[in-house]
Amino acid sequence: MTNRSLDPAYTENGSVLIYIFMAIALFAALSFAVANIMSSGTGDPNREVMQLQSTDVIQYADSLKRAVHGMQIRGVEDSRISFESPTLSGYAPHASCSSDDCRVFRPAGGGASYIPPPADWLDTAGEGDALYGRWFFPAGVCVQDIGSGGAGCEIDSTDNEELVAILPWVRRDLCIQLNDRLGVVNPAGNPPNATGAAWPAGNTPFTGTFSEDAIIARPGDMAGCLRGNGTPPNNSYFFYRVLLAR
């Protein structure tokens, strides 16, 4: 009678079976892990892109605010501030600013760089608009309850208009994401409506003189993204950031 426990061939076959079972078990475990990763994923890739874009918008606007704040600390008066830049039309040198210390986009001034917004931040429906694809620094906008101006600050005959950076024609989905990041409520999942013209209808840029023209009626909000109501057009969206409260 053959003693199988001592048979080398039998022992070898048994070892092979053990390795096969181990391989099957490892493959099953790996398949389960891969399936779990695929099912959980890393989130909506479009949302992740919007999160990155919203971060870029906010960080750039904040860099402009820091630039203006630094100029104020060095004693540059409000009326001397200039947004003149070789790559931004409409902000030609004005009489109150004759040196680089008062220019936001100069190393000796604010030290900021003017960077046009990337196309993928914007709604292509606005491509024919004069403000499409650029940041806008209006002359006549007050933001309610930010500086000294309250409700009606656009018609109160008081010099209380803000310096504001505005990005027109923001995509709606990005607008919503910006508000989520800023803690601004999106009513029923939609960006808040502007209550009227958010800046002068003629797109008057700030060149040293403030004027009474328009109000962004968002009490206490230094930044946000709103749906247009006249200027800008209805069904368009714009982001704003107060650079200097007055």
Contact 148, 121 (CB under 8 A): no
| Mean per-residue pLDDT over the chain, rounded | 86
pTM, full prediction: 0.79
Is the dihedral angle over the CA atoms 115, 119, 123, 127 positive or is it negative? positive
Token pair 């909000």: residue: 221
Q: What is the reported pLDDT for 34? A: 47
Residues in the chain: 246
Mean of pLDDT values over 164-175: 98
Residue 184 has what DSSP assignment?
-
Distance separating alpha carbons of residues 57 and 51, to the nearest angstrom: 10
Q: What are phi and psi of 190, to 5 degrees?
A: -115, 150
111-149, pLDDT tens digit by residue? 999 999 999 999 999 999 999 999 999 998 989 888 777
186-217, pLDDT tens digit by residue? 999 999 999 888 998 889 999 999 888 888 88
Given a cut of 60, whether residue 242 has pLDDT beyond it is yes
The amino acid present at 59, given as its one-letter code, is Q
What is the rounded end-to-end Cα distance, in angstroms, of the chain? 105
Q: What are the residue ranges spanned by the domains of the chain? A: 4-40, 45-244
82-111, pLDDT tens digit by residue? 999 999 999 988 989 999 999 999 999 999
